[in-house]
Structure 1
């Protein structure tokens, strides 16, 4: 997004005629946009969804051409997923995230939103049926599990809510986003939703305080859209906008970005220009370059050899602590036995950067203060022998004394997920922004006075 492009809303009095009209206008065509369009269509509204040029839908098209199966899961409301979860003592009404810091959205997720059922409406049609549950700490389960543990069974979250796997994952091999988007695209194609491609939205149009449409560029021409019942912004975050990152989340600047390349923040800025409030703009999801299966079998320490978190918690929380508190200067320390326990195909190409027969030698190799790592491992081993971790309360399942030979892995050197091929992740982390527009539980965008802006809604922005 260029700051030279105006974002101030236009008054409807300046519009002679509208080029397009619809009930609901969805801006953006990722997972949130496609889902919003399907919801509105199912409710009987006329819907137009706009898709910006040169975005990740090209990847989806490519995936489709290469024969990735487009699975159908006719499961309204995610019933089968919830039934599977009942084996862990839960019913749909209780399927909520356990705490303020649980999972990717934990630090910023409003309390009222966390209390909603996980699946509802047409979303159920694209939910993956749970065929298993991943118990091992990992970024991407090696199986096609439909549910995942995301730290719910780790301290302190098991004290807040009954542990149950609450992470939904599309049934697929490797990363599931491409499969989810392919299923959503197919559902949209079979619906009455009209998708306008190569359309970049520039400004909102208002009639008094109410948002009634947008001005956009459609295949190089300026066009106007009128939305009789509402405009829904689903344009994503601002991880690809270095200027906005520097202003709101400077610690994310310079790191690899998990996005489609179009998270430029324009939807947020357009809404702000119409009086919208924002929240948690400094927050980010941080996927650091470590293998959770290695970390949980050993320990993660800072540059002074100190542990700072329980290693069995959701890896995204470890990533946030690693970046925001330690600027990625952290190490995974483990024994050779623990390293060998992780299957080769789950190591993502990670090999120890230092190996030593003694902790004293390992300290020197890493450059840690003399005795620092020895003290940390000594304390860890002393309690691990009895299945205890009084410092960070890691589960007894993962506690064992660390014995020589020892290995150290520098998180900043990156990993290579199988789907990346030979492209090793650089910089130690991949990030995306979490903060954005403040909304009600139903997606109405709120103004600075905490009142809904008529006609303006948002999802994933």
Structure 2
């Protein structure tokens, strides 16, 4: 891949800048650790580096938060957290490892996965120490894609699915941050406040455009296109970016046009700012779901999916790493979310492809369903219900106490985007399925629901229900259905040393001075997503990179370290911007 790739239609990552072309007066400021991207991973990295005594600057293209602030604020934690215990559940790091071993499929080493599990309780306590709160109330009715207000502990993955269960009894490990609504903003708010209290210096509305390397190839800083603090352009940039994030769920095309205006402001009015990092640079800008060029090149089957994330998920961290020879992996790996729960009874129906053939266990987590739907079924699928189950589902959607974003699409799907047939063959004809395939799938499923045969996909008994009462209904759960968006986010990223988060080159050797965390890097969540695993990995990998960036010299020579230490800090040379927010 070229070392200079377009990040969007209006901006690009440049080839690295050679430090020998710079004098000491060219640097606008100097720090020990420079963090690029101020979401959850970047905040955790900055806090951890600061706790070791490092002078830390954290830069962000916007004002911080990224996809983390737009998330549900769920942290996957187990091993016996005090909230699990208060809810009456017994869990252990080994049980957590056994379950995640099945989900992660070797994306990280067993040693790293075991450490992730062993550190889980401590990492959740660390978040609590920085102001986040968690609880032990479980939502009624069993499985849900996201619990309603008042419920903060739940089964956030496939723990209840027999084919995914380990030897130990399943335990809920989705710890939703206490708050109202989507609680990612609550969690991020605590982390952001903790960074500012700790003395982390923010550089906001500053888009990273290239890394700076010395004559040995060590990464020693970065150049940003920074909007002048308090300027009309900075205020307009903030307004447009905020509007794009707020309206993304309702008008994605309009928001893409807003993002083009944001990029134009950066290009036309951004001023070059050079930040020197004496010890290390950490890339934590998120994934690349908003980079349509990268999606086209690496994951074309997901081009029609609704984009889950924030504008900053533009692949900039990935491309910055690649510009200095970093190795990337699993760029084709995308998590596609097709949740069919709630309504809680929906998984008792069957999901079939465009031919009428069943292809999955309907009770699995949404990403476990969505990935094969997009990868293997061309993005086309139907949820088939009989009259009895449809009536149950409508009643649950109306009176089940679900979120509006769960209830409204479910009702629209069952009442508006639905095909109907008096019997399975007529329904198949209405949907363009192959004759006999749907009726055959229903016969086999009903035999399992009656206990006459095992379910072909291992569905548990509690999720089976005989579907034999006509008329029959097929709800379109395909990727192109505008009233039932099928969201997606990227999982691939930069290959890192799992012991410290150092970015590796194609030969598997660390690139001196460069680290990565969160979805910019390969981590625990890079095979298949389950709710809370990405934020938990942001904490795990962010803290790891923050510690290592300050303590690891990555092969630097003593003379170079002495020269780094001698460089004067020019704090204050950027008017107000470097040491506070722009708003």
The answer, yes or no, to whether TM exceeds 0.5 is yes
Quote the residue 2:478 is aligned against: 412
Q: Displacement of 1:59 after TM fit?
A: 11
Q: Is the 8 A contact 1:289 1:413 kept in 2?
A: no
The structure that is helix-richer by fraction is 2
Q: Displacement of 1:109 after TM fit?
A: 5.0
Question: Could you tell me which of 231, 234, 242 is aligned with 2:292?
Answer: 242
- For 1:312-350, what per-residue CA distance to the aligned partner results, in whole angstroms no more than 9, with x for missing partners? 111111000111111221000123333324332443332
Q: Is the 8 A contact 2:95 2:166 kept in 1?
A: no
Q: Is the 8 A contact 1:130 1:147 kept in 2?
A: yes
Question: Could you tell me which of 299, 316, 319 is aligned with 1:266?
Answer: 316
Q: Is the 8 A contact 2:8 2:292 kept in 1?
A: no
- For 1:118-152, what per-residue CA distance to the aligned partner results, in whole angstroms no more than 9, with x for missing partners? 35343343554132235633322234433332102
SS at match of 2:478: helix
Residues 1:139 and 2:140 aligned together? no
Residues 1:214 and 2:222 aligned together? yes
Q: Is the 8 A contact 1:100 1:109 kept in 2?
A: no
Distance 1:244 1:160, change over 3 A: farther
Larger CA deviation: 172-181 vs 197-206: 172-181
Query: Which has the higher relative contact order, 1 or 2, with Cα contacts under 8 A spaced 6 or more apart?
Result: 2
Question: Could you tell me which of 315, 334, 350 is aligned with 2:366?
Answer: 315
Residues 1:194 and 2:248 aligned together? no
Question: Could you tell me which of 314, 324, 349 is aligned with 2:409?
Answer: 349
Quote the residue 1:120 is aligned against: 122
Residues 1:430 and 2:495 aligned together? no
Quote the residue 1:306 is aligned against: 357
The unaligned stretches of length 5 or more in structure 2 are 1-6, 228-269, 521-583
Quote the residue 2:530 is aligned against: none
Residues 1:375 and 2:440 aligned together? yes
Distance 1:393 1:411, change over 3 A: same
Quote the residue 1:256 is aligned against: 306
Q: Is the 8 A contact 1:140 1:174 kept in 2?
A: no
Q: Is the 8 A contact 2:80 2:92 kept in 1?
A: no
Quote the residue 1:418 is aligned against: none
- For 1:137-180, what per-residue CA distance to the aligned partner results, in whole angstroms no more than 9, with x for missing partners? 33222344333321022132214765322333323444332222
- For 1:32-80, what per-residue CA distance to the aligned partner results, in whole angstroms no more than 9, with x for missing partners? 11222122222322211111137766997xx9xxxxxxx9x9x9x9953
CA distance in 1, matches of 2:452, 2:53: 57
Q: Is the 8 A contact 1:284 1:433 kept in 2?
A: yes
Distance 1:173 1:404, change over 3 A: farther
Distance 1:305 1:27, change over 3 A: same
Distance 1:323 1:380, change over 3 A: same
Q: Is the 8 A contact 1:108 1:434 kept in 2?
A: no
Q: Pairwise mapping of residues 317-336 of structure 1 onto structure 2 (< 5 A)?
A: 317-336=368-387
SS at match of 1:412: coil
Q: Is the 8 A contact 1:138 1:291 kept in 2?
A: yes
Larger CA deviation: 390-399 vs 10-19: 10-19
Quote the residue 2:210 is aligned against: 203
Q: Displacement of 1:189 after TM fit?
A: 2.9
Distance 1:138 1:211, change over 3 A: same
Residues 1:451 and 2:509 aligned together? yes
Q: Pairwise mapping of residues 7-406 of structure 1 onto structure 2 (< 5 A)?
A: 7-17=14-24, 18-53=27-62, 79-81=81-83, 83-84=85-86, 87-92=88-93, 95-96=96-97, 98-99=99-100, 102=103, 108=107, 110-115=109-114, 116-117=116-117, 118-121=120-123, 122-125=126-129, 127-134=132-139, 136-149=142-155, 150-159=157-166, 163-207=170-214, 208-219=216-227, 220-288=270-338, 290-291=340-341, 293-339=344-390, 340-341=392-393, 342-344=396-398, 345=402, 346-350=406-410, 351-352=413-414, 353-386=418-451, 389-405=454-470, 406=472
CA distance in 1, matches of 2:112, 2:175: 16
Larger CA deviation: 286-295 vs 300-309: 286-295
The unaligned stretches of length 5 or more in structure 1 are 64-70, 416-423
The structure that is strand-richer by fraction is 1
Instruction: State the superposition RMSD in angstroms.
Output: 3.1
CA distance in 2, matches of 1:414, 1:143: 30
CA distance in 1, matches of 2:67, 2:303: 26
Q: Is the 8 A contact 2:420 2:473 kept in 1?
A: yes
Distance 1:349 1:239, change over 3 A: closer
Structure 1 length-normalised TM: 0.85
Distance 1:312 1:387, change over 3 A: farther
Quote the residue 2:253 is aligned against: none
Q: Is the 8 A contact 2:385 2:473 kept in 1?
A: yes
Distance 1:412 1:6, change over 3 A: closer
Q: Is the 8 A contact 2:39 2:67 kept in 1?
A: no
Structure 2 length-normalised TM: 0.68
Q: Is the 8 A contact 1:108 1:435 kept in 2?
A: no
Distance 1:260 1:98, change over 3 A: same
SS at match of 2:364: coil
